[in-house]
Amino acid sequence: MREIPLPKRLEILSDAAKYDASCASSGTARRTSRDGKGIGSTTGNGICHAYAPDGRCISLLKILLTNHCIFDCHYCINRKSSNVRRARFTPQEVVDLTLSFYKRNYIEGLFLSSGIVKSSSHTMEQMIEVARSLREDHGFRGYIHLKTIPEADPELVAHAGLWADRISVNIELPTKAGLSRLAPDKDSGRIEGMMGRIHGAIVEAKDARKRFRHAPRFAPAGQSTQMIVGADGASDTDIITRADSLYGAYGMRRVYYSGFSPIPDASAILPLKRPPLVREHRLYQSDWLMRFYGYSASEVQQAAGTDGMLPLDIDPKLAWALKFRQHFPVDVNRAPREMLLRVPGLGTRAVQSILASRRHRTLRLDDIARFTVSIAKLRPFIVAADWRPTLLTDRADLVSLVKPKPSEQLELFA
């Protein structure tokens, strides 16, 4: 077969990679190349070097080593039975591309994933070779994210973590039944086994560094995973349960959600309709509530309706507040941090500002307005020096006053 020219292969293999949601380059160990021997640095904060018109950040060169694949996962554009054009890079080509993009300040580093050729272990070896060459041959100090293949030899994963900042294994689908139906070649036991091993290696390396300053780091930016939303029948509460257990059991840094989008040449057992984009957004919001706002998974699930789905028209925080009105209004001058964080419309920064400034003055509604985007949304839920939502204190009135709110929004979204 005639070789496809490199620019075309770059198109094919980055097009195939765009269904991976993560592009994070943050949270890793700080490095510089001030010694003049290599190239690159990480500051701990991610940098988004560009944004595409889909609103997503472009931080890393996100590509597949190859989109040839021996697996036949129905949701995947690269599955064996799909008609997409196939291409592959050599490890050397990926190394060169990464370095030349990095030197021009286009990217923070590399996110390498791959279809499975020959065998899982063979593919994994090729990916590790890219990371090794970047680090060892070129002294690359930028960010590397490797997507590992759960079926590969565990020994190899131990290697991957030595070169990569982050490693990830995709959980793919929120339920085991969904996985065995849509990804017949994958096995949830093996996926979780791999996550467990990665978690173990990360904990061990961290512990070793406490005792030995020069102990090697292992995936300093931790591990993450991704699940596809809307390709099987899992409800939002199922997904939240799953995400919560992944955070707990494997110390995940992030669980990414990827709204199933219809792919060209789709498999017949996939749903025809894609889930609304906002569903993915609501799930991320619920994720935020658990990670930064002190909600437990079961509390977030209380915001969902009887069908187990989070409302699409209002965010889960507002939904929770409307359901548990007895906790409101919250007095911004007295309430503890945990309660302030539950007020719809108050973010973590605003809560920080309230806590700091109320030591110096009694906060009025105007003061709160300066900390937030919209005071109108906030007002029914707070008490300030010059403000008390009087109508809301009356219990009978409360229902009639708050109820029209979501229905108005419903019309907007209808």
Partner 1 sequence: MTAAREADATVSVQMDAPDDFEAWRAHARALMQARVAPERVMWSEPGETGNLLGLLASAPFPAAADAPPPRASRAFLQQARSVICHRDPERFALLYRVLWRLQRQPRLMEDQADANVRRMAAMAKEVRRDIHKMRAFVRFRLVESEDGASEHYVAWFEPDHNIVRANARFFTDRFAAMRWSILTPELSIHWDGAQLLEGPGASARDAPQGDPLEDLWKRYYASIFNPARLKVKAMLKEMPRRYWKNMPETALIGPLIADARNRELAMIAQGEDSFEMEQPDSLDAVASAVSTCTRCPIGCNGTRAVPGEGPADSAVMLVGEQPGDQEELAGRPFVGPAGQVLDRHLKRAGLERDRLYLANAVKHFKFTPRGPRHIHQTPTAGEIDTCRFWLDAERALVKPRLIVALGASAARGILGRTPSIQRERGRAIALADGSELWITVHPSYLLRVPDAIREQEEAAFARDLAAVAARCASLG
Residue ranges binding partner 1 (CB under 8 A)? 6-7, 10-12, 14-15, 17-19, 32-41, 43, 45, 47-58, 61-63, 81-85, 97, 100-101, 103-106, 259, 261-262, 264-265, 274, 277, 353, 356-357, 359-361, 363, 367, 370-371
Cβ-proximal residues to 209 (8 Å cutoff; 6+ apart), any chain: 215, 217
Nearer to partner 1, 321 or 341 (CB): 341
Nearer to partner 1, 20 or 125 (CB): 20
- Is the distance from CB of 60 to CB of 42 less than 8 angstroms? no
Distances (CA, A) of 333 to 119, 355, 363, 386, 390: 62, 8, 6, 11, 17
Question: Helix, strand or coil for residue 320?
Answer: helix
- Is the distance from CB of 261 to CB of 270 less than 8 angstroms? no
Taking alpha carbons only, the member of 27, 18, 20, 72 closest to residue 46 is: 27
Tokens 């640095």 belong to 41
Helix (H) or strand (E) holding 160: helix 154-163
Residue 85 CB, nearest distance to partner 1 (Å)? Answer: 6
Joined tokens for residue 20 = 């991976």
Residue 121 CB, nearest distance to partner 1 (Å)? Answer: 28
Residue 269 CB, nearest distance to partner 1 (Å)? Answer: 13
Residue 96 CB, nearest distance to partner 1 (Å)? Answer: 11
Residue 270 CB, nearest distance to partner 1 (Å)? Answer: 13
Nearer to partner 1, 63 or 179 (CB): 63
- Is the distance from CB of 41 to CB of 31 less than 8 angstroms? yes
Nearer to partner 1, 32 or 92 (CB): 32
- Is the distance from CB of 265 to CB of 83 less than 8 angstroms? yes
Nearer to partner 1, 108 or 129 (CB): 108
Nearer to partner 1, 339 or 365 (CB): 365
Residue 61 CB, nearest distance to partner 1 (Å)? Answer: 7
